[in-house]
């Protein structure tokens, strides 16, 4: 008898899980029901800001197709919420009044935007009622709101200096809106990057047309626009930032109410062990933004330093892939076989690459220490562990900045602004935990022209002129001395220029040089 798996939520992570389970559904090994609250099947939420500025289409964002899935035997319920879960009876109660049985249940409920506590906004996170002209940019409807503002060249105020806020503001500005970012602290991305990169980044954003309002504490929204819509963001110094649309980009919070409501232990997310199982209920699982991997074993080293859900989609996809394999083994070979699978690998701190056209920024790990900050460098350097080392390059005039924080030559933190090749290589090195070259400046020069092998100087007689036939300048000069005066004659005598013909100009140059010399 095949097991029935119910997936609660149908975002990108659930879509990956469903994809990975499809073969088992087709063979009848498992039955699968997916319940999605939105009326659309899973789409790529990571790119909602791109959609909102008109850089992609809703069609292109689709990650699943309900009718295709149904043709494969997956049950898909869209526009329906799971109201509660009855663990004793092993069924879920849906908002349309029906109940569905499960053998295994997977929470993939994701997260919801944080609604900041501002006068004029309803702070109840589970029932946000936002005034017109205020959006949290989470789903397709939100995207449509921003899309209209961008298309109309309106003033867009983005509250929050995180990655999504910056991406939204930059893209909106590039596509014609007047964008302002309002953030705490002197520079955006506060906890992830350092002052140097923050300053360079701020300047780059300004150069791209984004207004940056730093060190700002917002207190409320003014809704004096048409029909009581948003008109300004109010700050604690009494000033106001006028705008037509306020985009709230204040982070996300895992959606855990459903799990909490049925008595499962939660922290910031739904607590799961290294097999993604909820505590005390091993046939329930959680993946993606709503899951917090933190096992119950107090001596587990990995969990001692673990933080909550990362909010990045990459780890969620890896969890989905892993869980699909687990569920298939479970259905086919039983509990013992499934539990003997390697647990889901611990995630490294996430790498963030700003999704932006005009600005290149990559960051990962801890970037707070400065080169001369002894205390920070010595931190953690006990029991024979190497101390931290910092290498840094700053060129604010040209919008470039790199900081590499290493321990034993291996990156613990990186931030790179305005140096795409360097950023790309550093990210690879970070993810592989590979040792950096002792001469760190090699990594800086990847974006520079000296990476081109300097061909031997054009006066070097031994340089190869014709690669195809392997003929040196000296041989060609020799043939010219012996009387060759055209490319054809040189080719005949030396075979130079008889392959791809790319060196004909060079040969001509050598001939001309010879005869000029003779004439002089």
Contact between 304 and other proteins by CB under 8 A: the answer reads: no
58 forms part of the interface with other proteins (CB under 8 A): no
Query: Least separation, in Å, of the C-beta of 202 and other proteins?
Result: 20
Q: Which residues contact 234 (CB under 8 A, 6 or more apart)?
A: 118, 119, 218, 219, 220, 221, 222, 240
| Coil, helix or strand at residue 276 | coil
Strands 104-107 and 3-8: parallel
Choice between 375 and 453, CB closer to other proteins: 453
- The smaller minimum CB distance to other proteins, of residues 20 and 244, is found at 20
394 binds other proteins per the rule CB under 8 A: no
* 348 contacts other proteins (rule: CB under 8 A): no
Q: How many CB atoms lie within 10 A of CB 371?
A: 13
- Does 57 help bind other proteins (rule: CB under 8 A)? yes
Residue 435 interacts with other proteins (CB under 8 A): yes or no: yes
Q: How far is the CB of 353 from other proteins (least distance, A)?
A: 4
Collapsed DSSP state (helix, strand, coil) of residue 443: helix
Tell me the C-alpha to C-alpha distance, in Å, between residue 75 and each of 7, 29, 53, 68. Answer: 10, 15, 34, 11
Among 223, 360, 367, 475, interactor with other proteins by CB under 8 A: 360
The alpha carbon of residue 204 and the mean position of all alpha carbons in its chain are separated, in whole angstroms, by 20
Identified binder of other proteins from the candidate list 58, 60, 151, 224, rule CB under 8 A: 60
In the region spanning residues 32 to 51, those forming contacts with other proteins, defined by CB under 8 A, are: 43-44, 46-47, 50
437-456 residues in contact with other proteins (CB under 8 A) are: 437-439, 442, 451-453
Among 138, 421, 463, 514, binds other proteins (CB under 8 A): 421
Could you give the CA distance from residue 415 to residue 393 in angstroms, rounded to a whole number? 10
Alpha-carbon distances of 184 from 49, 155, 252, rounded to whole Å: 22, 20, 17
Mention every residue, 6+ apart, whose C-beta is less than 8 A from residue 495.
466, 469, 471
Between CA 469 and CA 494 the distance in angstroms is 9
What CA–CA distance (Å, rounded) separates 195 from 202? 10
Q: Strand 270-272's sheet: what is its strand order?
A: 75-78, 30-36, 3-8, 104-107, 281-286, 277-278, 270-272, 291-293
- Tokens (6 digits) for 396: 């604010």
Sign of CA dihedral 264, 268, 271, 272: positive
Q: How many residues in the chain? A: 520
Binding of residue 420 to other proteins (CB under 8 A) = yes
For other proteins, the binding residue among 354, 402, 484, 510 (CB under 8 A) is: 354
CA distance linking residue 420 with residue 407, whole number of Å: 23
500 binds other proteins, rule: CB under 8 A: yes
Q: Which is nearer to other proteins, 46 or 234 (CB)?
A: 46
For other proteins, the closer of residues 50 and 222 by Cβ is 50
Binder of other proteins out of 29, 376, 469, 493 (CB under 8 A): 469
Binding status of residue 468 toward other proteins by CB under 8 A: yes
Give min distance, CB of 132 to other proteins, in A. 29
Binding other proteins (rule: CB under 8 A), the pick from 38, 40, 56, 489 is 56
**By C-beta, is 229 or 498 nearer to other proteins?**
498
Least Å from the CB of residue 53 to other proteins:
12
Contact call for residue 70 and other proteins (CB under 8 A)? no
Beta carbon of residue 188, minimum distance to other proteins (angstroms, whole number):
17
**CB closer to other proteins, 321 vs 514:** 321
> Given the structure tokens 């040196």, which residue do they identify?
472
3-state SS class at 235: strand
Q: Which is nearer to other proteins, 125 or 488 (CB)?
A: 488
Q: Minimal CA–CA distance to 316: which of 66, 111, 29, 134?
A: 111
Q: How many CB atoms lie within 10 A of CB 435?
A: 12
The least CB distance from residue 452 to other proteins, in Å, is 6
- What single string gives the DSSP state of each residue in 19-34? HHHHHHHHTTSEEEEE
Min dist. Cβ of residue 488 to other proteins (A):
11
The residues binding other proteins (CB under 8 A) are: 12, 16, 43-44, 46-47, 50, 55-57, 59-65, 68, 313-314, 317, 351, 353-355, 357, 360, 362, 420-421, 423-425, 427-429, 431-432, 434-435, 437-439, 442, 451-453, 467-470, 495, 498-502
């Amino acid at each position: 008898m095949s097991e029935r798996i119910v997936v609660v939520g149908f975002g990108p992570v659930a879509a990956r899980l469903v994809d990975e389970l499809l073969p088992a559904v087709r063979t009848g090994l498992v039955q699968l029901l997916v319940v999605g609250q939105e009326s659309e099947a899973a789409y790529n939420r990571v790119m909602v800001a791109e959609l909102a500025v008109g850089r992609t289409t809703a069609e292109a964002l689709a990650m699943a197709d309900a009718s295709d899935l149904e043709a494969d035997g997956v049950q898909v319920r869209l526009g329906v919420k799971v109201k509660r879960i009855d663990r004793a009876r092993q069924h879920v109660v849906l908002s349309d009044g029906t109940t569905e049985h499960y053998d295994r249940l997977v929470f993939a409920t994701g997260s919801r935007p944080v609604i900041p506590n501002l006068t004029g906004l309803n702070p109840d996170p589970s029932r946000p009622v936002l005034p017109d002209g205020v959006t949290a940019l989470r789903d397709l409807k939100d995207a449509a709101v921003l899309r209209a503002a961008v298309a109309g060249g309106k003033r867009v105020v983005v509250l929050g200096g995180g990655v999504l806020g910056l991406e939204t503001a930059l893209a909106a500005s590039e596509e014609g809106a007047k964008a302002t970012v309002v953030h705490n602290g002197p520079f955006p991305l506060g906890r992830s990057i350092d002052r140097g990169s923050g300053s360079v980044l701020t300047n780059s954003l300004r150069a791209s047309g984004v207004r940056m309002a730093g060190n700002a504490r917002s207190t409320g929204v003014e809704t004096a626009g048409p029909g009581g819509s948003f008109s300004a963001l109010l700050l604690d110094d009494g000033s106001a930032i006028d705008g037509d649309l306020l985009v709230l980009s204040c982070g996300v919070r895992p959606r855990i109410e459903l799990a909490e409501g049925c008595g499962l232990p939660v922290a910031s997310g739904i607590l799961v062990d290294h097999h993604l199982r909820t505590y005390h209920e091993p046939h329930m699982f959680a993946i993606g933004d709503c899951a917090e991997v933190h096992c119950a074993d107090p001596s587990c080293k990995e969990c001692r330093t673990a933080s909550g859900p990362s909010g990045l989609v990459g780890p969620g996809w890896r969890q989905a892939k892993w869980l699909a394999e687990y569920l298939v083994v479970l259905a086919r070979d039983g509990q013992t076989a499934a539990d003997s699978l390697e647990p889901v690998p611990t995630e490294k701190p996430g790498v963030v690459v700003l999704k932006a056209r005009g600005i290149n920024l990559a960051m990962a790990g801890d970037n707070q220490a400065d080169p001369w900050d002894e205390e920070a460098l010595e931190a953690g350097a006990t029991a024979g562990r190497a101390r931290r080392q910092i290498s840094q390059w700053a060129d604010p005039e040209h919008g470039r900045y790199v900081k590499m924080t290493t321990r034993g030559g291996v990156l613990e933190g990186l931030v790179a602004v305005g140096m795409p090749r360097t950023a790309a290589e550093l990210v690879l090195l970070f993810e592989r935990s590979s040792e950096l070259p002792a001469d760190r400046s090699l990594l800086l020069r990847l974006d520079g022209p000296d990476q081109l092998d300097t061909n031997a100087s054009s006066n070097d007689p031994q340089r190869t002129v014709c690669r195809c036939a392997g003929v040196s300048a000296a041989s060609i000069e020799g043939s010219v001395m012996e009387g060759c005066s055209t490319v054809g004659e040189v080719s005949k005598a030396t075979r130079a220029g008889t392959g791809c013909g790319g060196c004909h100009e060079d040969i001509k140059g050598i001939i001309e040089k010879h005869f000029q010399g003779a004439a002089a």
